[in-house]
Amino acid sequence: MRKRDKDEFERAFRSAYRPVLQTVSLVLQDRGRAEEVTQDAFVRLYERWGGAVAYEHPEAWVRKVAVRDAIRRANRERVVPVVALVDTQTAVDRLPDLDLLRAVGALPPKQRAAVALHYLEDLPVDQVAELMGVASATVRQHLFKARSKLAERLGETLEEVAGDADR
């Protein structure tokens, strides 16, 4: 790879690595696995740099590869305790965060991915659909089901957070 291409790849890595890792962490509920999947997606991006991937936005391409791989893995893996994702020393001070991560972790992998891409990465539904390789209507359905389950599971937490905000 030419130096200029390598520099561009490194720039893309520095810009996209953390957000992609966060999304994949939320889908897999495991930081170590998330690093493997995210890094693997970037290895594949590196191999295609300057080739076919140039026709797509590289960050979108790597996000697509990583998210789809994460969904595949999450489908075949056991649920991992959510504390693997957060700093346990500060976890006691952040119970709403833990509740939220636990609740998202209990969703099916595709709903987790839709929630991560839409609410964490702030992507519109059409773009989430493109990344996940499904129809927009399917994404809306995933989000609707996810919101219903999360609202049910997080009922008390939502009230407490609303109460804190009012004070």
Partner 1 sequence: MPIDEFLRAGLPAALDDVRPDVETDLAVVLRRAGRRSRLRRTGYTVALVAAAAVAAIILGRGGDDSRGTVDPVAPLDEVQVLDSERGSADDPAPLETGRYAIPFIGAADNTPWGEVEVPAGWGQDRLLLATGPDLDPHLRRIELLKVTGVSTDPCNNGFMESVEGGVTATVKALTKQDTVRPSEPRPVSIDGYAGQLVRFHVPVGYEIEKCWDGESLRPIGVGSSWASVFPGWTYRLWVLDLDGDPVTILAAHGPDTTPTELAELTDMVEGLHFTEPR
Calpha distance 154→106 (Å, rounded): 12
Calpha distance 78→56 (Å, rounded): 34
Torsion angle in degrees (nearest 10) through CA of 100, 103, 105, 107: -140
Find the part of the chain contacting partner 1 (CB under 8 A) among 125-133, 134-142, 148-156: 148-156
Q: How far is the CB of 23 from partner 1 (least distance, A)?
A: 9
Subset of residues 111 to 130 that bind partner 1, contact rule: CB under 8 A: 115-116, 119-120, 122
- CA-wise closest residue to 21 among 74, 63, 69: 63
Q: How far is the CB of 128 from partner 1 (least distance, A)?
A: 14
Amino acid at 8: E
Half-sphere exposure of 31 (CA within 13 A, CB side): 8
Q: How far is the CB of 137 from partner 1 (least distance, A)?
A: 19
Q: Which residues bind partner 1 (CB under 8 A)?
A: 10, 13-14, 17-18, 21-22, 25-26, 31-37, 39-40, 42-43, 46-48, 51-52, 72-73, 76-78, 85-87, 90, 94, 96-98, 100-101, 104, 115-116, 119-120, 122, 147, 150-151, 154, 158, 161-162, 165
